[in-house]
Structure 1
Amino acid sequence: MLTEAGERLLQSIGGNFDALQTAIADASSGASEPAGVLKVSLSPTFGVTHILPLFSELLRRYPLIRPEWHFETRPVDLVEEGYDVAIGGGLDFAPGIVARTLAPAHMVVVASPASLAERTPPSDPAGLSQYDGTVMRPLRSGRIRHWAMRNAAGAEMAAPLRETIVVNDPTASAKRQSSASA
């Protein structure tokens, strides 16, 4: 015996409950192997350097997958734009989105001898405020992203930089920093 809700469902599908059950069974049969389009947003540098080399193995293991990979620096709306996955750092997530850490990103701060020649090297991250810096302003938040650093003992502290150049991409920031310290 159907409930009231069940009766309404049956009426809304035009009384063709058997066809609906068959369609659901057909859609779920053979689903033991991933298949179809896999739409992924990737940061260009990370995607090309770390993910793209895995492409052949992905297709070998899952031949029914059709990758659609978007290498972009802009923040994407996973739900609105129909993405299955986004891989990158510093992503803002809508409620209900599941996120997992793939790998930690370790950065090391370096300086050329020329940039340190006229200054005393900082004794802690707060001393970086004396130095010109490239900082990031993500498009979505519009706020400058400040660095935090950890010492060997694991203590974390702010590492403010003078906001000499503002960029919206971590790769641009890293490239600018490395060219400035060379």
Structure 2
Amino acid sequence: MMTKKVLIDTDPGVGIPGTDADDPIALLFALADPRLELLAVTSTFGNCPPWLTARGARKVLDTAGRADIPVAQGIPLPLKGRLADELITAYQGERGKVGKIDLPELPGTSSAVQYPTAPVQIIKTVEEHPGEVSIIALGPQTNLATALLMRPDIAKDIPEIIFMGGALGINATYGRGNITPVAEGNM
């Protein structure tokens, strides 16, 4: 059976009140699926800041016995340079600190990190497997955008980007944005 090489860019808020479980579950599904080979995980903002989402991703991978998969901390802000007010407020509360589950400390993972480790990990992974790595973006695509700004030439070597996000409207029955009634944070 052929396996698809993937890199997951994600915002898992593990054990942190106010976050959802979709990203940790997606990581576990990717690890369990024999059709996928998870090469690396990069963290982004969303459920919580990237210094926490990197630690959450590491916790999920370690718990699944996959300490061999690298985790790189991502960019803490959108390209426009400012988080949505809803995220600024959330990060000042419980979503900005470790929750009820101990998270591993990662070297170079803190709110003070100033270098783009996740974009560098994306570039490195694509360079090592040109034309083979699908990017699965479960949060804002700032890390991918930054990687492409740093190295636009790698775009030809990314066969696909699978992206989670969107809102259908103000009616909760059909979906609602989490930033405004029609804007979703990943978009």
TM-score, normalization by structure 1: 0.28
Which is richer in strand?
1
Indicate the structure whose relative CO is greater, using CA pairs within 8 Å and at least 6 residues apart.
2
Computing the radius of gyration from Cα coordinates, the structure with the larger value is 1
